[in-house]
Chain A
């Protein structure tokens, strides 16, 4: 599900890593984290630079950015990413588009077709990868 930036930009913040892992590692409990690990949505690039600047080299191309930003490890706990926190509920109008796999089985293709129609009714495109 890809959210519309307009719907979340005023109520989203970013955090340097998986907050659960951070809390376990730093034993900060439920108290606010120390400064330097969070940014507002509009300043997310600053957090990304602070965390990942060392991984950007002269030869790094824009296509490489997603893999730098999100690294999938052998387990969930090993995943590396910047976490987004959104305050409040997500309305359907906040969904910009839905992306799913190309289904191979006929049953799933029919269900996906139906889902595509349902989403289209509320103006959300379904894309397949």
Chain B
């Protein structure tokens, strides 16, 4: 007879050639007939099903009991460690766990729990100090020892886990392969053994010898290369964590080293970090940049005592994001560079760094940064899309298209790559293809606002205004996509010649909370002013713009040219030379000929043509 057993479900099913019977852990002697179709229901949502072949009822009963003890042991340990749990419940959990840890078995509960708990650092909610205190009060000696050891080995647990997580996805055939390795390493206790080896080189080496010789791991593809890369990464992780407080050496677990550390509650730390991040953001908004940088340095110093390098990097990435939203690209770059230093294994930090370079207009450097990130983290889709975006900004549209195509081939469900590709087509003036690409994307992702916004702006460029209007959302903007909708709505009025409505919308857009979008409203308003022949207002608006770049330079060239301010028109003309956008190049040629170069043989374009091209730039941005 065979048997299917799950401790989580508390059930075992005995399978005989012509019948199936099940029994519950509470009453193993009562066998209840069941059908094959019951099995999926009996084992729904459990992940510990074991199959025993050619077994007996008694062996199945023992296995069920063992799996049940392991599962309940895990629950009780997590309850004990949870700082938000009630003290009484935690103490009761310690008492119960003490009994489970005392059970001798082939795979004892203690080993089972250790293999899993040593595989990842305790979360912020974990409270080992109080867990030890409560276990002591419950006279649960085994539990106290287990939790103390787990707590004191956290630095090593973190090292091993960071080194594993930062292995490039390219080492594995697919994400499932990495998970298969991870699961097996946990189940066979290698994370625990590697952490318990601490700084002792000979013990660490012994673990790696065992790892390399493990037959179960050897069945996984490329296992040797993966395991050696993990070992190499571990050395690098230690080097980058030099700023961390060194853990006490293992080997002589004296009473001093076993004393639980004073642990600050995780939520308090997070609250404080969040408060400081908000204060830094407020300073950036008010333009107090040096003070913001000083606050950020203090925050990092605080986190050095309470957080891991990865958490510090996350804080810095968040600050970089907030700096970008506040329109402070220099500070964005500063935060992102620091993040890379703290967590060089995290592709997110590299992407933030490249994004900051983009914000500063240092596109060539950004491209190099994305190239390096892609080489190091070939499966990072954010870097791929970022690189394609930079290629587009550099006017290398065909390369950008190829980059998006490659990404879509590898990540067919990535909506950013799909909309990015459609945007390039739109910018190239290949509206029919862009429309098709956007429609394809909105069909697959009907709620994606970027795709809907892109589709609407393409329809506007094709002068299909009513269709575009039908796609736009609420006129009262709340989120970024609403503001983009409002911008498109204003552009429709502008193209239809309804300057009054267009100006009212663009004026409203100057209160938009998103700096980059605000810049789009400002340049759109400047185009409306050009159309109304209010050149001074147009020049002023375009001069205020720090973010829209090429279009504002074109508007300044147009406005100062009409105002006969040759010096400023020439300066604006020089600024337009930085752009490789084909539409901007056409406008530069026309406006440069009109107001700066004045060649005798130039064939003049009409004012309507100039207006259409300026609208194109505003909508393709």
Q: Which residues of A contact B (CB under 8 A)?
A: 74-77, 104-108, 110-111, 113-114, 117
Contacts and interface: CB of A to CB of B under 8 A. Distances in A.
A75 B38 contact: yes
Given A107-B100, A108-B72, 12 more contacts: A74-B35, A75-B35, A76-B35, A77-B35, A104-B26, A110-B76, A110-B89, A111-B72, A113-B92, A114-B75, A114-B82, A114-B89
A113 B90 CA distance: 10
A76 B96 contact: no
B79 A110 contact: yes
Nearest to A107: B72
B608 interface: no
Most buried by A among B34, B86, B92: B92
Contact of B92 (A77, A105, A110): A110
Contacts, number: 44
B30 to A, nearest CB: 14
**How many of chain B's residues touch chain A, expressed as a range?**
10 to 19
A5 B35 CA distance: 33
Nearest to A114: B79
Contacts of A104: 26
A107 B76 contact: yes
Contact of A76 (B33, B37, B85, B92): B37
Interface in B12-52: 26, 33-35, 37-38, 41
A117 B89 contact: yes
A119 to B, nearest CB: 13
A76 B41 CA distance: 9
A38 B82 CA distance: 47
A4 B418 CA distance: 39
A76 B89 contact: no
A19 to B, nearest CB: 15
Interface of B: 26, 33-35, 37-38, 41, 72, 75-76, 79, 82, 85-86, 89, 92-93, 96, 100
Contacts of B100: 107
Chief secondary structure at chain A's binding surface = helix
B138 to A, nearest CB: 12
Contacts of A113: 86, 89, 92
A105 B37 contact: no
A114 B349 CA distance: 38
22 contacts: A74-B33, A74-B35, A75-B35, A75-B37, A76-B35, A76-B38, A76-B41, A77-B35, A104-B26, A106-B92, A107-B76, A107-B100, A108-B72, A110-B79, A110-B92, A111-B72, A111-B76, A111-B79, A113-B89, A114-B82, A114-B85, A117-B85
Contacts of B93: 110, 114
A108 B69 CA distance: 11
Contact of B96 (A77, A106, A117): A106
Nearest to B73: A107
Contacts of B26: 104-105
A76 B26 CA distance: 23
A49 B76 CA distance: 48
B79 A77 contact: no
B86 to A, nearest CB: 6
Nearest to B33: A74
A107 B401 CA distance: 59
Contacts of A105: 26
A110 B100 CA distance: 14
B37 A77 contact: yes
Contacts of B34: 75
Contacts of B37: 75-77
Given A75-B38, A76-B38, A114-B79, A107 B96 contact: yes
Nearest to A20: B37
Contacts of A74: 33, 35
A26 B89 CA distance: 53
Contacts of A110: 76, 79, 89, 92-93, 96
Nearest to B25: A105
Contacts of B41: 76
A74 B96 CA distance: 37
Nearest to A108: B72
A31 to B, nearest CB: 22
A108 B93 CA distance: 10
Nearest to A76: B37
Contacts of A76: 35, 37-38, 41
Contacts of B86: 113, 117
Contacts of B79: 110-111, 114
Contacts of A77: 35, 37
A114 B79 CA distance: 7
A105 B34 CA distance: 25
8 residue pairs, one from A and one from B, having the closest CB atoms = A75-B35, A107-B72, A76-B37, A114-B79, A111-B75, A110-B92, A113-B89, A107-B96
B43 to A, nearest CB: 13
A107 B26 CA distance: 12
A20 B75 CA distance: 36
